[in-house]
Structure 1
């Protein structure tokens, strides 16, 4: 049985990935690292909204940022999240 804190942490994790925009960003970053402008073009949202979602993903240790000159690129910090997401997709597609 997981501890109370582990249950809370799992719940927070699922809350983070339950947002469609954040989930879309994760799938985009699965393929390649992207800057905010590139992500904005994919999700068709304002840059401030995308930046807010990226901050949540960074705080949740799912995404990291790396400065390359004047540009900040975002990439997955932990690809293990896709073990879960792939299983969920398999379940949905059954």
Structure 2
């Protein structure tokens, strides 16, 4: 077990870490943002939307889930600004909000696959 015999060993490192640490509110928002990626269904929806926009019916068929379950998770993804939508008559089509979503997804995938 590591035990520090001093309160601060590398004062410069501690000072730099404190200076560079984002504000508490930003860290909270970031933690909330990453929680959205903590659900397999939401990850599947993001993956399905990589290449093209899809409606709830198509997502439901692609993921073999109920439309209700898909709609619920899309609501969470919209609130986190990870997906956007457009209406065409009675049909609503969903897409990823921007390329950042793909980047975040791909970085996570690369990290997992490195194991």
> Is the shorter-chain TM-score for this pair beyond 0.5, marking a shared fold?
yes
The TM-score, its normalising length taken from structure 2, stands at 0.77
Q: Which residue of 2 aligns with 1:90?
A: 110
User: Aligned residue pairs: how many?
Assistant: 94
Matches within 5 A, 1:53-68: 53-68=73-88
Matches within 5 A, 1:10-89: 10-89=30-109
Where relative contact order (Cα < 8 A, 6+ residues apart) is larger, the structure is 1
Gaps of 5+ in 2: 1-20
Offset of 1:65 from its aligned partner? 1.2
The TM-score, its normalising length taken from structure 1, stands at 0.93
Q: Which residue of 1 aligns with 2:16?
A: none
RMSD (Å), alpha carbons: 1.0
